[in-house]
Amino acid sequence: MEQFLIDTFGDNILTYIIMPVPVLIFLSLFALGAVLAERKVSAYMQDRYGPNRVGKGILQTLADMIKLFQKEDITPAKADKLLYNLAPFIVFTATFMGYAVIPFCSLYIGADLNIGIFYFLAITSLSIVGILIAGWASNNKYSLFGAMRAVAQIISYEIPTALAILIVVMIAGTLSMQEIVELQGGGILNWFIFGGPGGATKYILLPFLFAAFMVLYISTLAETNRTPFDIPEAESELVAGFHTEYSGMKFAMFFFAEYGQMFAVSAIVATLFLGGWQSPFGELIPVLNTPVAQIIWFILKGCIFVFVQMWLRWTLPRLRVDQLMILCWKYLIPVSFINLFAVGLYIVL
């Protein structure tokens, strides 16, 4: 894709503007769909119907978006104007920049960096800065509380995330996303959740990789501030956390970023453990390995994880701050260290 654009437009800025546009379009559509899906899923889990008026409910998010466009853009009088206005853009930009290294198919990846997954970890952490700025600049105690909780939570959960990712990186021997996915080609049994490519001995790793998968999923869930880890937003205690004061399109930016993050982390989990855009049938059915099918596989895998995120959200209550920290420091991190040692030992031997 990148090479094709460079060939057509030349190696200039136009190429690099066009490059992320498909992702942005996908992200907007995904956010529209996911917000509706979330409301529908929550409704049906509670034996309700959910939105079913605007165009049978399908156009509900579109209507909400139009409503958000019309809303008054309020900046609190005592807020730090510059930072207040900057924060939503930082959060969204950080989320969107993470998409640069997500491989949608064998032909399309924003930038196939040789430090891809490391870049993802680094750049999504940038959204903490945006959240802290939002909380601080709002000049509101709920916002500040939410922001501080968010920072504490996200920084804590970076560690198990990084350790879980490290396990895959150790087996794959590369940080490049595209290469990690390519290694998992050839059927469902070559996915990293089943030990990646290799002989029969790889199945020794199965419990460790499964544990790493769970650790990664749980900690990325915490990084996106979703229930049961939504203490930064904690509706019942903090109004809305760091975006309490935001209205209209700035609020929409936070919302957009949240759903963007949901898909981004799901995509990362899918890429690292479930073979990214690889078809589960490998080479058996070649049609399912064309780039278009790859995109569908990838989005499907991502959406399954997004659905599980929603499912968890409407099942579990919110953790307390101490429970959150206990889960991270006493369970996830030791488990990931044991995983790390076990996988390291396997690789060395």
Partner 1 sequence: MRKYFKNIYLGFSTIWIGMMITLKHLLFYKNITIQYPEQRLQLPERERNRLYVNIDDCIGCDQCVRACPVNCIKIETIKAVPGDKVGKTGETSAGKKKALFVPKFTIDFAKCCYCELCVFPCPTVCIYMTDVFEFSEFQRNDLVYDFTDLTKEQAEEKRKKAEEWALEMQKKKEAAAKKPPEKKVPLKPETNDKNKSDESPDSKSDDKPSKDS
User: Residue 151, class by beta-carbon neighbours within 10 Å (0-12 exposed, 13-18 middle, 19+ buried)?
Assistant: middle
Among 45, 59, 68, 296, binds partner 1 (CB under 8 A): 45
Q: Which is nearer to partner 1, 45 or 170 (CB)?
A: 45
Q: For residues 249 and 308, which CB has a smaller minimum distance to partner 1 in the complex?
A: 308
**Does residue 312 bind partner 1 (CB under 8 A)?**
yes
Candidates 8, 11, 44, 329: give the one binding partner 1 (CB under 8 A): 44
Minimum CB separation of residue 335 from partner 1 in Å reads 8
Minimum distance, C-beta of residue 217 to partner 1, in the bound complex (Å): 12
Side-chain half-sphere exposure of 111, counting CA atoms within 13 A:
17
Q: Which of 324, 336, 320 is nearest to 159 (CA)?
A: 336
CA dihedral (220, 195, 302, 111) in degrees, to 10, reads: 80
**DSSP secondary-structure letter at 317?**
P
Neighbour tally for 114: CB within 10 Å:
12
49 counts as binding partner 1 under rule CB under 8 A: yes
Q: Quickly count: other Cβ atoms within 10 Å of residue 346's Cβ.
A: 17
Q: How far apart are CA 103 and CA 94, in angstroms?
A: 17
Considering beta carbons, is residue 208 or 251 the nearer one to partner 1? 208
Identify which of residues 47 and 72 has a Cβ nearer to partner 1 in the complex: 47
Stretch that binds partner 1, among 26-34, 105-113, 118-126, 306-314 (CB under 8 A): 306-314
Candidate segments 41-49, 119-127, 175-183, 236-244, binder of partner 1 by CB under 8 A? 41-49
Q: Convert residues 50-89 into a mask of x (bound to partner 1 by CB under 8 A) and - (unbound).
A: --x-------------------------------------
Identified binder of partner 1 from the candidate list 8, 10, 24, 48, rule CB under 8 A? 48
Binding residue for partner 1, selected from 12, 47, 77, 236, defined by CB under 8 A: 47
Question: Quick one: which segment of 30-38, 39-47, 99-107, 233-241 binds partner 1 (CB under 8 A)?
Answer: 39-47
322 part of the interface to partner 1, by CB under 8 A: no
Task: Compute the distance between CA of residue 40 and CA of residue 26 in angstroms, rounded to an integer.
Answer: 20
Positive or negative, the Cα torsion across 234, 303, 167, 209?
positive
Does 329 engage in binding with partner 1 (CB under 8 A)?
no
Residue 331 touches partner 1, criterion: CB under 8 A: yes
Spatial distance between the Cα atoms of 266 and 134, rounded to a whole number of angstroms:
25
Q: Is 225 left (phi over 0), alpha (psi -120 to 50) or beta?
A: left
Q: Residues 6 or more apart from 296 whose CB is under 8 A from it? A: none
Binding site for partner 1 (CB under 8 A): 41, 43-49, 52, 311-312, 314-316, 331, 335
